[in-house]
Amino acid sequence: MKLKYLILAIIVLTSIGVTSAAFLPEEGTFAFMEVENYTLHDINFTVPTDFKLNDSGDDFLIFKNGKDKLNITVIKDGKIKEVNSTKKVKATDTMLGSQEGYLVDRNGTYTFSYFDGDYLVTIKSKDMHLMIGVMGKD
């Protein structure tokens, strides 16, 4: 009789574990990560604590995590260039998270630019999910 209850308890606990694991976010969210908040020109950004602030100025923040880099730039009255000087890389009008802007993919390094009021925000990283989380626009 005790064996039946033990087996039943194991089955129930295993079912709960499998079910809850199926609903855990895999990418694109910082729900289960420690983060730090940064502000440039009253625009808030959320960066995982794994990324350490490497350099900063009035208009930019640069973070590093091992070989990974994250660049955030906020410029008043900036302009988005649709084509670079080589005319091989074009910005694509797209939605990243819930933010509409322009995305450039340069051999796996992404640059996403969008307007927030009078400011041009540019985020550059190799991880698109990181960029979405940084903006807080899941």
Q: What is the pLDDT of residues 117-128, one digit of tens each?
A: 889 999 999 988
pLDDT value at position 85? Answer: 46
pLDDT value at position 21? Answer: 46
Cross-strand partners of 36: 47
Structure token digits, residue 83: 């084509």
pLDDT value at position 25? Answer: 45
Q: How far is Cα 135 from Cα 47, in angstroms, rounded to an integer?
A: 9
Strand order in the sheet with 109-116: 52-56, 60-65, 68-76, 119-125, 109-116, 99-106, 92-96
pLDDT value at position 22? Answer: 44
Residue with tokens 């302009």: 79
pTM for the predicted model, two decimal places = 0.70
What does the DSSP 8-state code read for residue 127? -
| Domain 34-135 architecture | 3-Layer(aba) Sandwich (3.40)
Convert the pLDDT of each residue in 54-107 to its tens digit: 998 889 999 999 889 999 999 987 666 554 444 556 677 888 878 888 888 888
